[in-house]
Structure 1
């Protein structure tokens, strides 16, 4: 049948530094003989921006976030994902140049300090796959001379392709080593094999922690460089949490990245997002179970998976179910009751019916022993219906502390003492 998992204490391996912010580290054992490590936590995080918001002055953005902080805290949010902080060639921060030049510095210091003092994590967006240069090099004829920190051609990977053809640094101009990941053509790719690059990244991360209350990282475009270096930077700077953007719908690709980073970081569960979006759009949930487990990374590495509905990229051209409020609420009914460490998206938060539903679901998650590595028993996954039991003891029909359903077909949990906690269009959640 559908026995998903059981967990037992795994005290010999500390997955993330400063683990006092989480419950104890555990090992997750599957009936399909996959044993993986992960962090057991009931925490929920919030992405504080979309693409358009970052076109405004950064100081205005930080002030707006400060105004919303009390509401986020009261809702039970445990960490806030901040946009890339540094001077950048674009408006959004994803073409960073001078790392130590921080627009809106005073406002960022203020809001980040308030977030930390309130017991929440400051999850800073770390863009280190590529970097925009400030000066044209005389040999390459391209922007490949960097300031703050200062680098030259040898810090750019060999055969770094330009969007219109050719290389950022030709072979005769002294490039670095070959790239350890995928190429980006819009900015020079950084050579992570270079010792100075590694030291400069580590120094900058430590500086962000010391000056801007940063406690956690979101690594941008991790397909661009080996996960070995993510592990190196995490080991050297000890964040309380990190998550990588391995933007791929293939569960195996994301799983492989987690492995390449030596299980030091969680990863966004893009595969689960695509399965869930298609299921809700089509009212067909047949693909929401893979083997014995939920679809996506949460079905392989639940303690290292971060499910979500949208982010600043997907919301621009692949909005979850077109931004339909009822379908967004259905999506949150799933990710806030299922394994993994869920993220709430900025745009969804500012839809009042969606925000109210999210608040209710976070309360259910935290008050009924749901966690990233909880037991889950999928009872139905078919056209018109998805239904599951979750929480301690959810190893059979009627087990656990929470039950939920999605879809147009009727369903209610078996057993006694269930109370309907919330319901709406094509979803319902019970607890006991």
Structure 2
């Protein structure tokens, strides 16, 4: 016990490589800023094309915007035809076999996926695979085995006596057979289920057959032990499971030409296995540059820190604490102090570990992780992740593309302008001017090949929309005498004095980006 505690504490004092400094963020040879794009929402479907065909059609536009990486939805066969892939049935079926009521997945066929990946590569865009490794759903038949029910809020406490149940744990993959993998999953490969078919009762049932190890200790401690999340929970300590998932990771990169992964729900997966999984795949593909970003969902930076250390720099992390700050700013409106927007975030503490984002497929209204950033602050939020020099931003499809869940035409137009500003102007050191609770600004000084910019944003709503904020910011003495112009919906000019100072402005509750008029 004490040895483990000492090892855990020692991790905080052991330095590890910063993943964004060595991982591949896009094709080599470009001096432009890299940019990630999440190309799906929860309910997305195209009215006339498969999703893979839709993605293929949009690749030229994405490349023009400056997107260098696209995070695609899970490509694997789901438990039902319209399943998103997070209800993972067969990782090895990319829309090739007649299983679970369909050959294609929700997103399309294997051929359509591989063609889209090929076109993306031709346009200088890397593909990231969403790896759903925590659980399986949609078993082909039940098995009878011994379990112990546990409490929902404390999985370390038993909620009843040991008993036999019929659980959906047998995965035979009749449509695929032995192609790609010969593993047939059964209850030996899982730690728990949530349904007894015999009594038609829902609960968390820890599998308690003789010789079973129970929950993994290398998971998050929420609810006592957060090994179990949903469905049929995979036991990542089982040798056959490890072999199959490692083989799949190498195979999916080779098959699609993808260059990395988004790891789903890592707080529920044995972290020692996950680190080994990443290391082994990196070794197999012959390069350290494979991109990996992990989803550890918590608004607490302190809760995420142990996992960042446990992963030893092998993965970047989505900056959920920053997302939660952005959500609070949008709900509290003028009452939120913008000077605190980066407090207790990954991007402030370890910017080269941080994947910044505003929203994703899980944060929308009514979704499981509802924490939507409202349109009153959406553009300001994107300015903060796209134009500063810290962290690596990810754009959400639902914020830019027309969709039934969340689209706002004016918001999307302004985000497009910010994406263009990132590509053209957002370079060099970042200097902050966080001067007022309702108005902050920052300057990018530029580099040898790109002009910098000055950014000012407001969340002031308790007053007329014509209220004008002004901030005095220094853009560098090398810009003395130049004229800066606005590139958003507000137009104007700022004259830079002999010392590099200028007075920049924006209207209440807006964003303004200023750059030299020569551009």
Q: TM-score range by the shorter chain?
A: 0.7 to 0.9
Distance 1:217-1:101 versus aligned 2 partners, 3 A rule: same
Q: Which has the higher contact order (CA 8 A, sep 6+)?
A: 1
1:347 partnered with 2:398: yes
Tell me the equivalent position of 2:101. Answer: none
Q: Which moved more, 1:333-342 or 1:222-231?
A: 222-231
**SS where residue 469 of structure 2 aligns?**
coil
Kindly state the Cα deviation for residue 384 of structure 1 after the two structures are TM-superposed: 1.6
Tell me the equivalent position of 2:185. Answer: 151
Larger Rg computed on CA atoms: 2
CA contact (8 A) 2:21 2:352 kept: no
Tell me the equivalent position of 1:403. Answer: 454
Distance 1:245-1:312 versus aligned 2 partners, 3 A rule: same
Matches of 2:35 and 2:310, distance apart in 1: 25
CA displacement 1:318-345 (0-9 Å, x = unmatched) = 36343x2x53222211111121111111
CA contact (8 A) 2:78 2:89 kept: yes
CA contact (8 A) 1:145 1:151 kept: yes
CA contact (8 A) 2:486 2:513 kept: yes
Distance 1:72-1:336 versus aligned 2 partners, 3 A rule: same
Tell me the equivalent position of 1:165. Answer: 203
Kindly state the Cα deviation for residue 271 of structure 1 after the two structures are TM-superposed: 0.8
CA contact (8 A) 1:161 1:184 kept: no
Q: 2:350 aligns with which of 301, 305, 325?
A: 301
Kindly state the Cα deviation for residue 186 of structure 1 after the two structures are TM-superposed: 2.9
Q: RMSD across aligned C-alpha pairs, in angstroms? A: 3.2
Tell me the equivalent position of 1:419. Answer: 484
Distance 1:311-1:227 versus aligned 2 partners, 3 A rule: same
Unaligned runs of 5+ in 2: 1-15, 96-108, 146-164, 174-182, 196-200, 220-225, 283-288, 402-407, 461-467, 475-479, 490-508
Unaligned runs of 5+ in 1: 1-11, 25-39, 394-399
Tell me the equivalent position of 1:220. Answer: 264
1:312 partnered with 2:304: no
Matches of 2:335 and 2:309, distance apart in 1: 32
**SS where residue 41 of structure 2 aligns?**
coil
**SS where residue 165 of structure 1 aligns?**
strand
CA displacement 1:179-213 (0-9 Å, x = unmatched) = 33224453121112223222211110111111122
1:360 partnered with 2:417: yes
Matches of 1:166 and 1:252, distance apart in 2: 28
Kindly state the Cα deviation for residue 243 of structure 1 after the two structures are TM-superposed: 0.9
Instruction: For 1:379-394, list aligned pairs within 5 A.
Output: 379-380=433-434, 382-390=436-444
Kindly state the Cα deviation for residue 102 of structure 1 after the two structures are TM-superposed: 1.6
1:95 partnered with 2:87: yes
Kindly state the Cα deviation for residue 273 of structure 1 after the two structures are TM-superposed: 1.1
Matches of 1:22 and 1:418, distance apart in 2: 34
**SS where residue 61 of structure 2 aligns?**
helix
Kindly state the Cα deviation for residue 275 of structure 1 after the two structures are TM-superposed: 0.9
Kindly state the Cα deviation for residue 234 of structure 1 after the two structures are TM-superposed: 1.6
Distance 1:252-1:335 versus aligned 2 partners, 3 A rule: same
CA contact (8 A) 1:155 1:190 kept: yes
Q: 1:80 aligns with which of 30, 49, 70?
A: 70
1:242 partnered with 2:242: no
Greater helix share, 1 or 2?
1
Matches of 1:305 and 1:134, distance apart in 2: 40
Tell me the equivalent position of 1:116. Answer: 121
Matches of 1:167 and 1:269, distance apart in 2: 32
1:334 partnered with 2:384: yes
CA displacement 1:277-325 (0-9 Å, x = unmatched) = 32244134526448xx655110111111111111111024336343x2x
CA displacement 1:86-131 (0-9 Å, x = unmatched) = 1112511112111111221111111112112222111111000111
Distance 1:20-1:332 versus aligned 2 partners, 3 A rule: closer
**SS where residue 85 of structure 1 aligns?**
coil
Matches of 1:212 and 1:196, distance apart in 2: 24
Kindly state the Cα deviation for residue 59 of structure 1 after the two structures are TM-superposed: 7.2
Kindly state the Cα deviation for residue 265 of structure 1 after the two structures are TM-superposed: 0.8
Tell me the equivalent position of 2:497. Answer: none
Superposition misfits of 4+ residues, deviation over 6 angstroms = 56-59
Matches of 2:188 and 2:115, distance apart in 1: 37
Tell me the equivalent position of 1:47. Answer: 38
CA contact (8 A) 1:249 1:274 kept: yes
Distance 1:249-1:287 versus aligned 2 partners, 3 A rule: farther
